[in-house]
Chain A
Amino acid sequence: MTESKVDLLAVFPDLEPAANAIEHLRSIGVHDECMNIISGIPVTEAMLGRPSQWTNVPRIAMGGAILGFGAGFFLAFITPYLYPYPIKVSTQAFIPGPPTVVVLFELTMLGMLLSTFLGVFLDSFFPNYRPMKYVPEVSDGKIAILVECSHVEEKKVTDALKKMGAESVNPAEAQHL
């Protein structure tokens, strides 16, 4: 039988006690993967002594740029050949160089920026309107630590968090935001 888990949501008044609490939790055996930090402003991993977060956004952006370039290549180089008969205008080049650069540039940038935007949605699972574990006080400057632990460890973790300055420690309940 698997051990049942509980999520605790601890609210800290500031960065410093939150960083100390994370360190303390680690020292009593709570793994980094079992913690998540919620804040109202971006707090870097280094400030809280947390491992670096992985993000796919730059890779998705690069993929989008390549797709955009491909679309630009198709429009600039391939479409002139798709006519039933080639349209040649006087001495003009059939596929002129400089205008092609404009098309390639614009579509590459469009592909990159669209995919960057979509990358945030994909990586963050947006939009997500299901109930979630959250505490609105974070937008007032509080730092929340969401800790996943076993029922056996619940008291130990709660005591540790309170000892490190948590204003409140409660079992986290998913709620509609």
Chain B
Amino acid sequence: MAYDKKHAEHAPAGRHNGHSEEHLREKHLMLDPLPRGQMNDMVMESMLEKPTWKYWLVVGILSFIVVYFLFYKWSILIMKGQGEAGVMRPDYWGIFLVNTVFWIGISHAGTFISAILRVFRAEFRRPFTRAAELMTTFGLVQAGFSIFMHMGRVWLAYWLMPYPNQRMLWPNLHSPLTWDLLAITTYLLSSTMYLFLPLIPDVAMARDRSTGWRKTFYKTLALGFRGTEGEWTHLRNAMNIFAFAIIPVMFSVHTIVSWDFAAATRPGWSSTIFGPYFIVGALHSGMGAAIVVLAVIRGTMKHMKYFIRAEHFDAIGKLMLIISMAWAYFFFNDYMVQWYGGDKWTQQLLHFHEAGPMGWMWFAMLICNVAIPWAILWNPKWRATPWLVGTVGIIINVGMWFERYIIIPISVTINRMPFTWRLYEPGIEVPMGIGTVALFILLYMIASKLIPLIPVWEVQEGQMAHELKKFGRETVVSVSELE
């Protein structure tokens, strides 16, 4: 049953040559339906396929990294204290917070792809909404870990909870730290629920097709879903509410993260544009990560070439290009206003960014976030080439990590007290950061064997709504509003 249509590999996504029916069907998943039972079987096979030795090797390596670099090193940090990390005056905020901001940024792709594209009825979103939503949940787990690492005395994290302690003192709910707690908790819970709701029909489908422990697992997750009119109505209503409501929540999370910096009167941080600048940056890295995940899923999992096609890389590539332009605009805007302001310390900091010992990072950031995406993503053929656009996604993420590194530890190096200036030298943070990356990939690999990565009922619903229509001699794609 392997899907081996070679045309789907590299069908030119940007242009139609003659708009023949066959060509359009080859190009668009929505116009190329298979019998629904067969599609369900394909999704099940992609999950149930016996893992190869390469899979187990990667899982083994990642597990080792997670155990040693993340948990063992964390235990060292807890036992010996924050002296193990490179944070000291004036760089109290180091890689832990860089990683927190980075992972929250990654998590924005899920909501952007799933909620915003759902609200605007962008049909190309259908096969990869779940892959993106999983990124949101797993990314937020890493963000949570990173902020707990930064906290140091992590066993006292419950002090942030809004309840009165022994001295009848409540946490100050007007402090930016509690805003972070509220925003990240709200976003983590919301995105997990938003991941679970559309998953219910797919796990019900998996329940009907499995045996043994998997049957019990899917039966438990499916909650007794049958697909009655009432169940679909409640589910659809809830998903619509989520799609609209989670967008402002997503915007609020990264805006609040940006206020952790912008609310301070430090050189380089006190900026009114930090909110939208951070959001665009989050979308930039999030979309970059999403395209990497899609390229890997497509290249490694069975039948995925049917579901994830060149058209999807092309569509996300266009979004990445637009977001890259928006990021460049916000970066320049932020730079321009600070440069023009003429504050002595800010001037010093801007000079330090470009010509200081970490100047290479500043230039690399611009090359990774702007030059390379623009040079590659303008071309429809390159944009639709999975490995190439996936590589751009990795490069963007390197660039965005550099951006956060420049904003946080490099920027706190320069302050209004020159006698405290000191360049940040990370310690235990580096392996622990690598541990969060390994945990993210590991969680994703485990999830790919447990839950359907393709929201197959959404794909089938989309295929029902699409058809080809003739206008004169031209054949065009037509979409019906089914809801």
Contacts and interface: CB of A to CB of B under 8 A. Distances in A.
A40 B205 contact: yes
A53 B174 contact: no
Nearest to A61: B241
Interface size bracket, A side: 35 or more
Contacts of A121: 223
Nearest to B40: A139
21 contacts: A37-B229, A41-B464, A42-B235, A53-B233, A61-B238, A76-B174, A83-B168, A106-B179, A106-B182, A113-B189, A116-B245, A117-B193, A120-B235, A127-B224, A130-B224, A136-B208, A138-B227, A139-B40, A139-B204, A140-B35, A177-B204
Contacts of A110: 182, 185-186, 189-190
B245 A109 contact: yes
Contact of A126 (B223, B246, B482): B223
Interface of B: 35-37, 40, 162, 164, 168-170, 173-175, 178-179, 182-183, 185-186, 189-190, 193-194, 196-197, 201, 204-205, 207-209, 219-220, 222-238, 241-242, 245-246, 248-249, 252, 256, 457, 460-461, 464, 482-483
A4 interface: no
Interface string A114-129: 1011011101111111
A109 B174 contact: no
Given A116-B238, A124-B234, A134 B460 contact: no
Contacts of A83: 168-170
Contacts of B228: 36-38
A87 B190 CA distance: 34
Contact of A103 (B179, B225, B457): B179
Interface stretch (A23-31, A43-51, A147-155, A157-165): A43-51
A39 B201 CA distance: 10
Contacts of B40: 139-140
Chain A at the B interface: SS class: helix
A112 B245 contact: yes
A116 to B, nearest CB: 5
A55 interface: yes
A113 B232 contact: no
A40 B201 contact: yes
A117 B365 CA distance: 40
Contacts of A112: 241, 245
Contacts of B460: 40-41, 141
B234 A107 contact: no
Contacts of B208: 136, 139, 177
B229 A45 contact: yes
B170 A42 contact: no
Contacts of B182: 102-103, 106-107, 110
A75 interface: yes
A79 interface: yes
Contacts of B207: 177
A113 B190 contact: yes
Contact of A75 (B35, B173, B233, B482): B173
B238 A117 contact: yes
A140 B189 contact: no
Contact of A141 (B36, B178, B197): B36
A120 B197 contact: yes
A113 B197 CA distance: 12
A32 B483 CA distance: 21
Instruction: Identify the interface centre among A38, A47, A177: most chain B CB within 10 Å of its CB.
Output: A177
B168 A84 contact: yes
Contacts of B175: 99
B254 to A, nearest CB: 13
Contacts of B224: 125-130, 132, 177
B460 to A, nearest CB: 5
Given A129-B219, A177-B222, A42 B234 contact: no
B274 to A, nearest CB: 15
